Amino acid sequence: DVVNKKRSELRRKKVKQDSNYWKRLYIDKDKTRKESARIPMLFSCEKCNRKENLEKHHHKGYLNPKIFLTLCRTCHRKEHRKYKY
């Protein structure tokens, strides 16, 4: 698939330009998860209104710990499949 090949090429270029790219990415992810753990979730899924198996979905990556969706496990998986990450 052409889109995935382009993404892979861009990632390789980023890594070549910045040898700490992946390390920084995961440090930021851990930091964001810790910070967002302090912020309470809603009491139901924002997509289907289920009240069980709720998870946080960090909308648009892990750049801001305050921006996330409260999703049930099923909707969370669908969201990841939609963007293939």
pLDDT digits (tens, 9 = 90+) for 28-75: 677 778 888 888 999 999 999 999 999 998 876 667 778 889 999 999
Q: What is the pLDDT of residue 24?
A: 61
pLDDT at 26 over 70: no
What tokens does 45 get? 């899924």
Sign of CA dihedral 8, 24, 80, 47: negative
| CA pair distance 24, 44, nearest whole angstrom | 32
Q: Rounded to a whole number, what is the distance in angstroms from the first to the last CA of the chain?
A: 15
User: What residue ranges do the domains of the chain occupy?
Assistant: 2-83
Residues 5-29 have a mean pLDDT of 68
pTM (global) more than 0.85? no
